[in-house]
Amino acid sequence: MDFNFTDEQTMLRDSVGRYLSDTYTFDARMAAVNGDSGWNPGVWKAFAEELGILGAPFAEAHGGLGGGAIENMIVMEEIGKALVIEPYLQTVVIGGGFLKAAGGALADAVIPQIIDGSAVIAFAYAEPQGRYNLADLRTTAKRDGAGYVLNGHKAVVYAAPWATHFIVTARTGGSVRERSGVSVFLIPANATGITRRDYPTVDGARASEVYFENVAVGADTLIGVEGEGLPLVEQVVDEATAALCAEGTGVVRKLHEGTLDYSRQRKQFGKAIGEFQVLQHRMVDMFMEVEQAVSMTLMATLRLDEPDRARHVSSAKNKISRGARFVGQNAVQIHGGIGISNELAIGHYFKRASMIESQFGDADYHLRRYESLMD
Amino acid sequence: MDLNFSPEDIAFRDEVRTFIADNYPAGLKAKSEEGEELSKADFLSWHKTLAAKGWAGIAWPVEYGGTGWTSVQRYIFAEESARADAMRLLPFGLNMVGPVIYTFGTPEQKAKFLPRILSGDDWWCQGYSEPGAGSDLANLRTKAERFTGDDGKEYYRVNGQKTWTTLAQHADWIFCLVRTDPTVKPQEGISFLLIDMKTPGITVRPIITLGGEHEVNEVWLEDVIVPVENRVFHENKGWTCAKFLLAHERTGIAGVAASKRGVERIKTIARTEIDSFGDDAQPLLANPFFKRKVAELEIDLTALEFTELRTLAGESSGKGPGPESSLLKIKGTEIQQRITELALEAVGHYGAPYFRGFGEGDNEHPIGPDYAHRAAPTYFNMRKTSIYGGSNEIQRNIIAKMVLGL
Residue B159 lies in a domain: yes
Q: What is the C-alpha to C-alpha distance for residues B184 and B180, in angstroms, rounded to an integer? A: 10
Please indicate if any CB of chain B lies within 8 Å of the CB of A326: no
Q: Among residues B39, B67, B89, which one ends one of the domains?
A: B89
> Quick one: A173 and A78 in the same domain?
no
Task: State mean pLDDT over B249-255.
Answer: 70
> Quick one: B141 and B204 in the same domain?
yes
Q: What crossing angle do the helices spanning A230-265 and A69-82 adopt, rounded to 10°? A: 40
Q: What is the pLDDT of residues A251-269, one digit of tens each?
A: 999 999 999 999 999 999 9
> Quick one: A256 and A366 in the same domain?
yes
Q: Among residues A212, A228, A244, which one ends one of the domains?
A: A228
Q: How confident is the model at residue B361 (pLDDT cuts 50, 70, 90)?
A: very low
Residue A84 lies in a domain: yes
User: Quick one: pLDDT at residue B360?
Assistant: 47
Closest Cβ–Cβ partner in B279, B350, B383 for A340 = B383
> Quick one: B392 and B318 in the same domain?
yes
Please indicate if any CB of chain B lies within 8 Å of the CB of A216: no
> Quick one: B54 and B180 in the same domain?
no
Cβ within 8 Å, pair B163-A337 = yes
Residue B273 lies in a domain: yes
Which 3 state secondary structure label does DSSP give A52? coil
Residue A165 lies in a domain: yes
Q: Kindly report the CATH number assigned to the domain that includes residue B150.
A: 2.40.110.10
Cβ within 8 Å, pair B216-A337 = yes
Q: How confident is the model at residue B308 (pLDDT cuts 50, 70, 90)?
A: confident
Cβ within 8 Å, pair B276-A177 = yes
> Quick one: B83 and B180 in the same domain?
no
Handedness of CA A139, A140, A141, A145 (dihedral sign): negative
Which chain B residue is nearest to residue A361, measuring alpha carbons? B348
Residue A73 lies in a domain: yes
User: Quick one: pLDDT at residue B294?
Assistant: 98
Phi, psi at residue B36, to the nearest 5°? -75, 145
Q: Among residues A54, A88, A119, which one ends one of the domains?
A: A119
Q: What is the pLDDT of residues B310-335, one digit of tens each?
A: 887 776 665 656 777 899 999 999 99
Q: Give percent of chain A with pLDDT exceeding 90.
A: 99
Chain A CB contacts of B164 below 8 Å: 337
Cβ within 8 Å, pair A202-B380 = yes
Residue A90 lies in a domain: yes
| H or E, element range at A213 | strand A206-217
Phi, psi at residue B173, to the nearest 5°? -140, 155
> Quick one: B50 and B174 in the same domain?
no
Q: B90 in the Ramachandran plot: left (φ > 0), alpha (ψ -120 to 50) or beta?
A: beta
> Quick one: B195 and B229 in the same domain?
yes
> Quick one: A183 and A244 in the same domain?
no
> Quick one: A235 and A369 in the same domain?
yes
**Hey, which residues 176-205 in chain A have their CB within 8 Å of chain B?**
176-179, 197, 199-203
Residue A190 lies in a domain: yes
Task: State mean pLDDT over B297-305.
Answer: 97
User: Quick one: pLDDT at residue B221?
Assistant: 98
Which 3 state secondary structure label does DSSP give A269? coil
Number of domains in chain B: 3
> Quick one: A143 and A210 in the same domain?
yes
> Quick one: B270 and B385 in the same domain?
yes
Q: What is the pLDDT of residues A108-145, one digit of tens each?
A: 999 999 999 999 999 999 999 999 999 999 999 999 99
Closest Cβ–Cβ partner in B276, B391, B396 for A131 = B276
Q: What is the pLDDT of residues B187-199, one digit of tens each?
A: 999 999 999 999 9
Closest Cβ–Cβ partner in A126, A128, A340 for B380 = A340
Measured between alpha carbons, how far apart are the two ends of chain B, in Å?
32
> Quick one: A133 and A113 in the same domain?
no
Q: CB A205: neighbour CB atoms within 10 A? A: 23
Chain B CB contacts of A158 below 8 Å: 352
Task: State mean pLDDT over A289-314.
Answer: 98
Q: Dihedral of the CA atoms A257, A260, A263, A264 (nearest 10)?
A: -100
Residue A2 lies in a domain: no
Q: Provide the residue range defining the domain that includes A38.
A: 7-119
Q: What is the C-alpha to C-alpha distance for residues A221 and B90, in angstroms, rounded to an integer? A: 58
Cβ within 8 Å, pair B348-A333 = no
- Beta partners for residue B209, in sequence order: A341
Q: Is the pLDDT of residue A369 over 60?
A: yes
> Quick one: A15 and A82 in the same domain?
yes
User: Quick one: pLDDT at residue B243?
Assistant: 87
Closest Cβ–Cβ partner in A267, A333, A340 for B209 = A340
Residue B99 lies in a domain: no
Cβ within 8 Å, pair A341-B276 = no
| H or E, element range at A82 | helix A69-82
Which residue, B127, B98, B85, B41, is CA-closest to B249? Answer: B98
Q: Which residue has the higher pLDDT, B1 or A354?
A: A354
The H helix count followed by the E strand count for chain A is 12, 10
Residue A89 lies in a domain: yes
Q: Is the pLDDT of residue B169 over 80?
A: yes
> Quick one: A184 and A290 in the same domain?
no
Cβ within 8 Å, pair A337-B387 = yes
Catalytic residue list of B: 249
Q: Among residues A187, A209, A228, which one ends one of the domains?
A: A228
> Quick one: B389 and B266 in the same domain?
yes
> Quick one: A327 and A209 in the same domain?
no
Evaluate whether ipTM surpasses 0.95.
Answer: yes
Segment among A146-160, A309-323, B23-37 with least mean pLDDT: B23-37
Q: Among residues B35, B66, B89, which one ends one of the domains?
A: B89
Whether the Cβ atoms of residue B396 and residue A374 lie closer than 8 Å to each other = no
> Quick one: A58 and A150 in the same domain?
no
Phi, psi at residue A192, to the nearest 5°? -65, 135
Q: Provide the residue range defining the domain that includes B146.
A: 124-236
Burial A78-115 (b: 16+ CB within 10 A, else e): bbbbbbbbbbbbbbbbbbbbbbbbbeeebbeebbbbbb
> Quick one: B222 and B264 in the same domain?
no
Cβ within 8 Å, pair B387-A336 = yes
Distance in Å, alpha carbon of A352 to nearest chain B alpha carbon: 10
Q: What is the pLDDT of residues A174-188, one digit of tens each?
A: 999 999 999 999 999
Q: Which residue has the higher pLDDT, B370 or B290?
A: B290
Q: Kindly report the CATH number assigned to the domain that includes residue A313.
A: 1.20.140.10
Which chain B residue is nearest to residue A360, measuring alpha carbons? B349
Cβ within 8 Å, pair A178-B216 = no
Residue A1 lies in a domain: no
Q: Among residues B66, B89, B112, which one ends one of the domains?
A: B89
Q: What is the pLDDT of residues B123-144, one digit of tens each?
A: 999 999 999 999 999 999 999 9
Closest Cβ–Cβ partner in A129, A347, A372 for B210 = A347
Chain A CB contacts of B163 below 8 Å: 337
Distance in Å, alpha carbon of A267 to nearest chain B alpha carbon: 8
Number of domains in chain A: 3
Q: Kindly report the CATH number assigned to the domain that includes residue A169.
A: 2.40.110.10
> Quick one: B44 and B137 in the same domain?
no
> Quick one: A109 and A151 in the same domain?
no
Q: Dihedral of the CA atoms B37, B39, B43, B46 (nearest 10)?
A: -100
> Quick one: B214 and B288 in the same domain?
no
Q: CB A203: neighbour CB atoms within 10 A? A: 25
> Quick one: B364 and B389 in the same domain?
yes
> Quick one: A95 and A165 in the same domain?
no
Mutate to test the interface with A, among B347, B355, B387, B397 (most CBs of A within 10 A): B387
Chain A CB contacts of B186 below 8 Å: none
